[in-house]
Amino acid sequence: GAGVSQSPSNKVTEKGKDVELRCDPISGHTALYWYRQSLGQGLEFLIYFQGNSAPDKSGLPSDRFSAERTGGSVSTLTIQRTQQEDSAVYLCASSLAGDRVKYFGPGTRLTVT
Amino acid sequence: RKEVEQDPGPFNVPEGATVAFNCTYSNSASQSFFWYRQDCRKEPKLLMSVYSSGNEDGRFTAQLNRASQYISLLIRDSKLSDSATYLCVVNPGNAGNMLTFGGGTRLMVKP
């Protein structure tokens, strides 16, 4: 079946611009996670959605980062006033509720110039 | 101290070799453990879960030592296609089952 999809696959933006990254989870998966992976680094948790519950935003690095999940499916991660240190691969993962196994999308490679 | 620590490598081994990776975690309350594989410029994919009793999947064997808080992955008869970064992953038992990732160990299998 279809896996997690993300768009765009690559995004180059100028410092100070806003960007939106999109994630389509696997159909039926109620849990959705955003992570980011900087060059040569491990994955860093950003935010977690579970069904209609309030999201866990504890991993967001600053108030320039926000995310929404509409209708319990598609999620958008927004980064306002991008900075060069925001350059990374942003990975989305989904899972069934309570399932510890996560399925990752291919990621969006963000480059801030 | 990082929550999940791994030797970044790279481990350079010839085809057919046996190679082992270790990983340590700091949260003794951690509940579940995994090895993920990540190919260059690709997303992480689950390789195998790690159970207390140890488990094997073909050429791959994973073991967990809760007392010492370390996890291992053994790869026998290495193939060129095993070249990748292996991520040690821990579920610390939070409500959202958020995973904590190690920085990964890079393996390069050479002919």
Q: Is pLDDT of A98 > 80? A: no
pLDDT-based confidence at residue A70 (cuts at 50, 70, 90): confident
So what's the pLDDT on residue B92? 82
Cβ of A104 and B100 within 8 Å? Answer: no
Q: Chain A: give the shortest CA distance to residue B81, in Å.
A: 19
So what's the pLDDT on residue A3? 92
Question: Which helix (DSSP H) or strand (DSSP E) does residue B22 occupy?
Answer: strand B19-25
So what's the pLDDT on residue B43? 93
Cβ of A98 and B98 within 8 Å? Answer: no
So what's the pLDDT on residue B102? 94
Of the listed ranges A11-20, A43-52, B101-110, the least confidently predicted one is: A43-52
Please state, in angstroms and as integers, the Cα–Cα distance from residue B20 to each residue in A62, B7, B35, B62, following that order. Answer: 38, 11, 12, 10
Structure tokens at B30: 């951690």
- Residues A16-41, mean pLDDT to the nearest whole number: 93
So what's the pLDDT on residue A1? 58
Whether residue B10 is preceded by a cis peptide bond, meaning omega within 30 degrees of 0, is: yes
So what's the pLDDT on residue A53? 86
Inform me whether the C-beta atom of residue A18 falls under 8 Å from chain B C-beta atoms.
no
So what's the pLDDT on residue B98? 81
Inform me whether the C-beta atom of residue B27 falls under 8 Å from chain A C-beta atoms.
no
Taking CA–CA distances from A58, the nearest residue in chain B reads B98
Vertex A81, ends A76 and A86: CA angle to 5°?
A: 70
Sites in chain B below the pLDDT cut of 50: none
Inform me whether the C-beta atom of residue A13 falls under 8 Å from chain B C-beta atoms.
no
Inform me whether the C-beta atom of residue A46 falls under 8 Å from chain B C-beta atoms.
no
Cβ of B96 and A107 within 8 Å? Answer: no
Residue in B87, B98, B102 nearest the CB of A33? B98
- Residues A20-41, mean pLDDT to the nearest whole number: 92
Q: Is pLDDT of A52 > 90? A: no
Q: If you compute the radius of gyration of chain A from its CA atoms, what whole number of angstroms results?
A: 13
DSSP type of residue A92: E
- Residues A49-61, mean pLDDT to the nearest whole number: 90
CA B19 to chain centre: 12
d(CA B11, CA B28): 28
